[in-house]
Structure 1
Amino acid sequence: MKHNIIAAHKVIGTIVGIIIFIVLFKYLAVQIGDTSDNVTLAHAWLSLITAIFGPVVGAVTAFIGHATSDALTNNGTAWWTWVIADGLFGLFIGLITKRLGVLIGKLTTRKLVLFNIWQLVANLVVWLIVAPLGDYWVYNLSLGVAFKEGLILVVVNFLTIAIVGTGLLKIYQHYFVE
C-alpha cells in the first residue's frame, strides 16, 4: 500500500511539475537580446521538483515541459536537441539532489554550495556539449552560434538556480520537511 501512495505522489508531482514548468518556461520568460534564449524560472523550479521527487521525475518534467513549450511556440515543432538536453539536465539535477540528500535532514550551507557547484557542472555538460553538438549534427547549425547560445544558457540557468532554486529549496525545507 505504501508503494502505491509513493507512486501516486510521484505521478501527481510529475503532472504538476510539468504544468508549472511549461508556464514558467513559455509564459513567464524574457528573451535575451537577439538570441532564441530566454531567462526563465523553469530550471529553478526543476531543482525543487527533483529534490522532492527524484531524477526520473526531473527528466520527464524537463523533457515534456520543454517539448510542449516548443510545440506551443513553434507551430507544433519542437527543437529536439534542446528538448533532449533539457531532459538530461533534469536527470542530472535529480541525481545531484538525491546524492547530496538536499532535503534529508538539515539543509546546510555545505549542501547548498555542493548543489550549486554540481548544478554548474550539469549546466556546462548539457548546454556546452550536448545541446550545441546536437544542433551541429542534427540541424547543421554553426558551432559558433550553438556554443554562444549554450554559454548564455549556462550563465542564466546557473544564476537562476543558484538564486531562486536555492531559495525554493530553503523555503520548502523550512515549511515542509521535519
Structure 2
Amino acid sequence: MGRKTVLSTKNVVAIGIGAAVFIILGRFAAIPTGVPNTSFETSYAFLALMSVVFGPVVGGLIGFIGHALKDILVWGSPWWSWIIVSGIVGVGFGLAWKKINIKEGIFGWKQILTFNVVQIIVQAIGWFVLAPLLDVLIYAEPINKVILQGLVAGGLNIATVAVLGTLLIYAYSKTISKTNSLEKEETF
C-alpha cells in the first residue's frame, strides 16, 4: 500500500512558482509606507490564493521561501523574524482550505466571511504579536519600533488580503466547474 505524500509534484511546482511570484510582487509591487523597512505589499494576497488552493503546507513554504529569497535579493540578507511569520501566515491562510473547499468552485458570502475571519486572526497574531516579539528576541530591536512596524505591516496586509486576496480567490473559484454542473441534455 502506498503512502499519500503531502508534497506531490503538483505541490512542489506550486511552491516554486508561488515563491517566485511572491518575490516578484514583493520586489516590484510594493510601496514604501514611511515606516522603516515596512511596505504595502500585494504578495500576501497572492499567498492567500495559493494557500487556499494548495493547503497549509504549500502556503507555509511559499511564504517562508518567497520571503527569504526576496529579503536576500532586495536587502542582501534575510530577516528571519518576518520570514518565519510569513511562513506561519501562509500556513494559517491554508487552514481555511478545507473549510472553504475552493475545489468545489464555490466562494460565496459564507466562504468569504470564513476566509476573512481566519486571515484577520492569523495576520493579527503574526504581525501584531509574533513579528515584534521575534524582532526583539532575535535582533534585540527596540520594542517601540517593531510594534509600529508590526501594526503598519499587519494592518496593510489584512486590508490587502481582505480586498485583493478575496477578489483573487473569487476569480479563481469562477474557473472551477461545480460538481454536478453538467446536466444531461435531452435528445430529439
After TM superposition, is the score higher than 0.5? yes
* TM-superposed deviation, 1:35: 2.2
Q: Which runs of no fewer than 5 residues in structure 1 stay unpaired?
A: none
Aligned match of 1:82: 82
Larger helix percent: 1
Shift of 1:106: 2.1
Whether contact under 8 Å (1:123, 1:158) holds in the other structure is: yes
Q: CA 1:132 to 1:80, structure 2 compared with 1: closer, same or farther past 3 Å?
A: same
Which whole-Å CA distance do the structure 1 matches of 2:13 and 2:60 have between them? 15
Matched, 1:42 2:43: yes
1:61 aligns with 2:50: no
* TM value normalised by structure 2: 0.87
Matched-pair contact (CA < 8 Å) for 2:64–2:87:
yes
**Conserved 8 A contact 1:22-1:69:** yes
Q: CA deviation at 1:44?
A: 0.3
Cα distance change, pair 73–105 in 1 and its aligned pair in 2 (3 A): closer
Q: For this pair of structures, how many residues does the alignment match?
A: 175
Paired residues of 2:105 and 2:176 also in contact (CA < 8 A): no
8 Å contact 1:31–1:38 — kept in the other structure? yes
Q: Does 1:143 align with 2:147?
A: no
State the TM-score, normalizing by the size of structure 1: 0.92
Measured against aligned partners, the alpha-carbon deviations of 1:63-112 in whole angstroms (never above 9, x if no partner) come to 0100001001222x100011011111111111123333244352120110
Structure (1 or 2) with the larger CA radius of gyration: 2
**Rounded Cα–Cα distance in structure 2 between residues aligned with 1:140 and 1:53:** 36
Who is 2:157 aligned against?
A: 157
Shift in Å, 1:176: 2.9
Q: Give how far 1:15 is off.
A: 1.0
Give the whole-Å Cα distance in 2 for the aligned partners of 1:103 and 1:150: 33
Identity of aligned residues (%): 29
State the superposition RMSD in angstroms: 1.7
